[in-house]
Amino acid sequence: MSINRLDKIICDAGLATRSEARKLIAGGRVRVDGITVLNPAFKADTEISDISVDGQTVTGGFRYLMMYKPEGVLSATEDKNQKTVLDLLPQELKKLGLFPVGRLDKDTTGLLILTNDGNFCHAVTSPKRHIKKLYEFIVEHPLDYDDIKAFDRGIILQDGTECLPAILEIDEDDPNHGFVTVFEGKYHQVKRMLASRGKPVRTLKRISVGDLSLDAMLRPGEFKELTKNDLNLVVNKNVTE
């Protein structure tokens, strides 16, 4: 349980100072489980209540963002020479200790989750959980049914690493285009799986993690806050639990 005063919860989430939080509450801009609360001393449990400011979810001290990672930025918190996904965030979010949940290569685009919740990150990336990830790709050479069967059996990478069975779908109208679902997260996994079939990747985009898909309204470099339901979709919990 994590019970606190409402003004403290908003302040701890980095959305406002304590006095600004009181003003937000007094202004009727804060809701707890859908009900406007005007008392800053109101106590809420951040683990079970949905708290929002101007409709934006505040999940206790923890924050969860969906970013449409653009090409050319690193999935890292900082780098001396290169731009990272953290550099795409505004100052007020940069100070919250957010980090990427897993990594996408510099040239890979698509769904990247950022959080400051280490337990959530572990739940998503733990090799034991086998959380599915869906990628869209374009490859140099056309794919065929033998590739589908090889993915289904489990690809053995060029260095001998064995991958779990994965689902390969080929675009009926364009055999250089398709989708792959993997249930683990090895280094450069999708590129290496396709390369092992002699089909080097030209472009790679992550479409979903668990049952959470990249929001079609987001443009590369944009991000949005995730709701509790979104988080449940990622870790495949029944949202009505």
List the catalytic residues. 105
190 sits near ligand URA (criterion: CB under 6 A): yes
For tokens 């799986």, the residue is: 193
Closest CA to 194 of 126, 123, 136, 133: 136
Q: How far is the CB of 124 from ligand URA (least distance, A)?
A: 14
Nearest to 12 by CA among 77, 67, 63: 63
CA dist., res. 183 & res. 167, Å (int):
9
Amino acid 214 reads L
User: Taking CA 111 as the corner, what is the angle to CA 109 and CA 117, rounded to the nearest 5 degrees?
Assistant: 130
Over its C-alpha atoms, the chain yields an Rg (Å, rounded) of: 21
Residue of 98, 104, 114, 168 that binds ligand URA (CB under 6 A) = 104
With binding defined as CB under 6 A, does residue 204 bind ligand URA?
Answer: yes
Q: Is 105 in the site for ligand URA (CB under 6 A)?
A: yes
Cβ nearer to ligand URA, comparing 52 with 189 = 189
Q: Residues 108 to 147: which contact ligand URA by CB under 6 A? A: 108
The whole-angstrom separation of Cα 169 and Cα 136 is: 9
Instruction: State how far the Cα of 69 lies from the Cα of 96, in Å rounded to an integer.
Output: 19
| 181 three-state secondary structure | strand
Nearer CB in complex with ligand URA: 96/194: 194
C-alpha dist (Å) from residue 38 to 5, 12, 16, 142: 12, 18, 16, 61
| Piece of 42-50, 85-93, 186-194, 224-232 that binds ligand URA (CB under 6 A) | 186-194
CB-nearer residue toward ligand URA: 62 or 68 = 68
Verify binding: residue 191, ligand URA, rule CB under 6 A. yes
Stretch that binds ligand URA, among 19-27, 43-51, 87-95, 185-193 (CB under 6 A): 185-193
Q: Find the part of the chain contacting ligand URA (CB under 6 A) among 14-22, 123-131, 182-190, 207-215.
A: 182-190
Nearer to ligand URA, 52 or 108 (CB): 108
Over the range 188-202, which residues count as b (16 or more CB within 10 Å of their CB) and which as e?
Answer: ebbbbbbbbbebebe
Question: Is 199 a binder of ligand URA (CB under 6 A)?
Answer: no
Residue 209 Cβ vs ligand URA, minimum distance, rounded to whole Å:
11
Closest CB to ligand URA among 31 and 191? 191
- CA nearest 191: which of 134, 137, 124, 113? 137
Kindly indicate which of the ranges 59-67, 80-88, 101-109, 121-129 contains the residues binding ligand URA, using the contact rule CB under 6 A: 101-109
Q: Which residues make up the interface to ligand URA (CB under 6 A)? A: 104-105, 108, 188-191, 204
